Structure 1
Amino acid sequence: MTSLLIPLFALGAAPVASQAQQAPATATTAGPGFAALADLAVRAPVIAGVEIRRAVRLKPAEAPGIVPGATRFFVEADLVTLLRGRGGLPARVSYLVDLPSEARGRPPKPKGQRVLLLAAPVAGRPAELQLVGSGAQLDWTPGTEQRLRTLATALVAPDAPPAITGISSAFHVPGSLPGESETQIFLTTASAKPVSLSILRRPGEQPRWAVSLSDIVDETAAAPARDTLLWYRLACGLPAALPEAATSALSPEDNAAARADYAVVRTGLGPCR
């Protein structure tokens, strides 16, 4: 099932008409890129696989703010797999979702389909969910479930990399040989946990960079593997260039070298897509 998505509210046994006044999310297509999936996962206290048992189509008057070509549904679904959710979930949950029309404008038929939800519980209503954003209902596939399972595990790990909020300072030190140097860049994070980057240059070799998640720069550290939580934190959290404040204490030559080394990191990470 392919879906569109706007902020979405999951609702339980309350009358459908009263729930229709709340704007739901619109579900999107299956198989999003890792960064898009991580954007949702970091905001979702609940990640679950469900099977839709009941889907009541709401009238246009009961679906304010719905996008053209979509239909709003009140959905009741049975829990199949809970990938993340402190305290668990009831066996049946409910929510609102906007789904795009099928071929020739026909309304979709979500009943019986298996989907993945990234959501938050509604306060005081454990059986009601609110999807966390655009794309927060996904078609179920083994691959998408596994990627979400990996993300859910990484997010609660004791050594989970924190969200990057900026760059505090950068230092550049030339080596004893021509073409040899090291740049260290210290990051700011939402949790105040230390994160730093180091870029080493040696004559005749490609620049090598690494990330450290401790106060001490780890000489054995390496660049993060793509499509991991650490890669996402860096690729999607780092600014495009070093801020002026981070290099204000450097000489013009060291400033230029630090900026060139930072570009090595940005190129190595690739775009956040």
Structure 2
Amino acid sequence: MVTQPSAAQSGLSYADIVDLADKAPLVANVRIRNIIILKPEQAGTVPADHKRLFIEADVTGLIRGESGISPLVTYLYDAPLDARGKVPKLKKAQMILFARAGGRPGEIQLIAPDSQIPSTPAEVDRVKFILSALVAPDAPPRILDVGDAFHVAGTIAGEGETQIFLRTENGDPVSLSILRRPGQAPHWAVALGEIVDEAARPPEPGSLLWYRLACSLPATLPPRSVRSLAVQDAEAARADYQLVIDALGPCGRTRKSG
């Protein structure tokens, strides 16, 4: 089993980093060379308690980017002011940028206001680990919605099986299965394919599959998912879906910007 690097010093959770990495066509390690604080008439609209900076940075490593990157990049960054109302000291700082190419050579754009994070060896390892999972051939697809749910009651009390289909961005099949047997703890699993086999298991916490589920599934089973079921079967499907949600736990996002 591949072990995920431990959380680093950025303060961002696993889900936060996946959110950034999943949207960024360009991820780079940089060392900030120069900072210019833009005047209000140059900066445009800036969030309260922030200053817009024009930053020049030397690229020390390209983590993701098919088309390469200039060795010197420039970009804008809205820096939060410290308790004294000062811009933080960023010159010579090592940063990881989640970005996209800008309109001019060497110009890039951060994908979000907080997509510049401190670079440490541990953080670089964590970002690389997540990016590798995102581009792996067997990477789980993005979950868009919950589809139909089905429930089959067993022949004895307390026995039953629920299957819940999920809608994905690329159309690949993903489903949840929940099996209950009298005298046993409920067993649930996720299947990436048409067939749910006995080897299917719940996702490993902190894995990309866990993230796709924990950060995408609604808190309760949508009414449309059980619209064709009898009342008793619908109640069982809802209870089984809640079992999955509780087992996945909170997504763990901490970022305030998208």
1:272 aligns with 2:251: yes
- Give the Cα–Cα distance (whole angstroms) in 2 for the partners of residues 177 and 127 of structure 1: 68
> How many residue pairs get matched?
244
Among 34, 38, 41, which residue is 1:54 paired with? Answer: 34
TM-score normalised by the chain length of structure 2: 0.89
Quote the offset at 1:113 in angstroms.
Answer: 0.2
Among 147, 150, 160, which residue is 1:168 paired with? Answer: 147
- Give the Cα–Cα distance (whole angstroms) in 2 for the partners of residues 212 and 226 of structure 1: 16
- Give the Cα–Cα distance (whole angstroms) in 2 for the partners of residues 126 and 224 of structure 1: 42
Among 94, 98, 107, which residue is 1:128 paired with? Answer: 107
1:163-207, Cα deviation, whole Å (9 max, x unpaired): 111112111112234322111000101111110001111222221
Structure 1 residue aligned with 2:51: 71
Answer whether contact 1:31 1:144 (CA < 8 A) is retained.
no
Answer whether contact 2:145 2:167 (CA < 8 A) is retained.
yes
Among 171, 190, 215, which residue is 1:236 paired with? Answer: 215
Quote the offset at 1:67 in angstroms.
Answer: 2.0
Note the residue ranges of structure 2 that are not aligned, 5 or more in a row. Answer: 1-8, 253-258
Answer whether contact 1:54 1:75 (CA < 8 A) is retained.
yes
CA RMSD of aligned residues (A): 1.6
TM-score normalised by the chain length of structure 1: 0.85
1:187 aligns with 2:166: yes
1:138 aligns with 2:114: no
Quote the offset at 1:134 in angstroms.
Answer: 3.3
How do 1:241-260 residues align onto structure 2 when only pairs under 5 Å count? 241-260=220-239
Distance change (3 Å), C-alpha of 1:262 and 1:88: same
Q: Secondary structure at the match of 2:36?
A: strand
Determine what percentage of the aligned residue pairs are the same residue. Answer: 48
Structure 2 residue aligned with 1:148: 127
1:22-71, Cα deviation, whole Å (9 max, x unpaired): xxxxxxx9221122221111111111111111111211221111123222
Quote the offset at 1:109 in angstroms.
Answer: 2.5
- Give the Cα–Cα distance (whole angstroms) in 2 for the partners of residues 266 and 68 of structure 1: 37
Structure 1 residue aligned with 2:255: none
Note the residue ranges of structure 1 that are not aligned, 5 or more in a row. Answer: 1-28
1:31 aligns with 2:31: no
